[in-house]
Copies of this chain bind each other. A is one copy, B any other.
Amino acid sequence: MPIYKAPQRDYRFLMHELLGVSEQLGQMPFYADNDMNDPDLLNQVLEEAARFVEGELLPLNRTGDVQGCKRSDDGEVTTPDGFKAAYKKYVDAGWPALDADPKWGGQGMPHTVANAMLEMMNSANVAWAMYPGLTHGAVSALSEVGSEDLQQLYLPKLIAGEWTGTMCLTEPHAGTDLGIIRTKAADNGDGSYAITGTKIFISAGEHDMAENIIHLVLARLEGSPEGTKGISLFLVPKYIPDASGKPGERNGVVCGSLEHKMGIHGNATAVLNFDGARGWLVGEVNKGMNHMFIMMNAARLGTGLQGLGLGEVAYQNALAYAKDRLQMRTEPRTLPGEVADPIIAHPDVRRMLLTGKAYSEAGRALALWLALSLDTEAHHPDEAKRKEAADLVALLTPVAKAFMTDNGFNVAVQSQQVLGGHGYIAEWGLEQFVRDARIGQIYEGTNGIQSLDLLGRKVLMDGGKKLQKLAGLLQEFAEANEEDETVGSYVSALSKAANQLGTLTMLVGQKAMEAEGGKGADEVNAAAVDYLRYFGHVVYGYLWARMAKIAADKVAAGEDKDGFYAAKLATAEFYFKKLFPETKALSVQIKAGAEPLDVDMKAVFGFEAAH
Which residues of A are at the interface with B, using a C-beta cutoff of 8 A?
170, 173-177, 180, 200-201, 259-263, 319, 322-323, 326-328, 330-332, 334-337, 339-340, 342, 344-351, 353-354, 357, 409, 413, 416-417, 420-421, 423-427, 431, 434-435, 438-439, 441-443, 446-448, 451-452, 517-519, 521-522, 525-526, 528-529, 562-564, 566-567, 570-571, 573-574, 577-578, 581-589, 592, 594-607, 609-610
A417 touching B261, Cβ below 8 Å: no
Q: Which 9 residue pairs spanning A and B have beta carbons closest together?
A: A563-B603, A331-B518, A262-B431, A581-B588, A347-B526, A260-B426, A585-B585, A577-B592, A577-B596
Q: How far is the CA of A347 from the CA of B529 in the complex (A)?
A: 11
Q: How far is the CA of A323 from the CA of B608 in the complex (A)?
A: 9
A340 touching B442, Cβ below 8 Å: no
B567 touching A600, Cβ below 8 Å: yes
B328 touching A177, Cβ below 8 Å: yes
Q: How far is the CA of A342 from the CA of B601 in the complex (A)?
A: 12
B335 touching A609, Cβ below 8 Å: yes
Q: How far is the CB of A537 from chain B (nearest CB, A)?
A: 11
Q: How far is the CA of A353 from the CA of B607 in the complex (A)?
A: 13
Which B residues touch A451, using CB under 8 A?
Answer: 348
Asked if A584 meets B577 with Cβ closer than 8 Å, knowing A335-B609, A564-B603, A600-B567, the reply is: no
What copy number does this chain have within its complex? 2
Q: How far is the CA of A586 from the CA of B435 in the complex (A)?
A: 27
B173 touching A326, Cβ below 8 Å: yes
- Beyond A201-B421, A417-B446, A567-B599, 19 additional pairs, beta carbon < 8 A: A173-B326, A175-B327, A176-B328, A260-B427, A262-B426, A323-B605, A348-B525, A354-B597, A357-B604, A417-B448, A420-B446, A421-B443, A431-B438, A563-B602, A564-B603, A566-B603, A566-B604, A584-B584, A585-B586
A337 touching B610, Cβ below 8 Å: yes
In the complex, residue of chain B having the shortest beta-carbon distance to the beta carbon of A226: B339
Among the listed B323, B431, B566, which residue makes an inter-chain contact with A607, where contact means beta carbons less than 8 Å apart? B323
Q: How far is the CB of A130 from chain B (nearest CB, A)?
A: 14
Which B residues touch A448, using CB under 8 A?
Answer: 348-349, 417
Residue with the highest number of chain B CB atoms closer than 10 Å, among A259, A347, A522:
A347
B425 touching A334, Cβ below 8 Å: no
Which B residues touch A603, using CB under 8 A?
Answer: 562-564, 566-567, 570
In the complex, residue of chain B having the shortest beta-carbon distance to the beta carbon of A596: B577
In the assembled complex, 22 residue pairs joining A and B whose CB atoms fall closer than 8 Å, in A order, are A175-B420, A200-B421, A259-B426, A260-B425, A260-B427, A261-B431, A330-B521, A336-B610, A344-B607, A347-B597, A348-B526, A353-B605, A354-B599, A354-B604, A421-B443, A424-B438, A424-B443, A563-B602, A563-B604, A570-B596, A570-B603, A577-B595
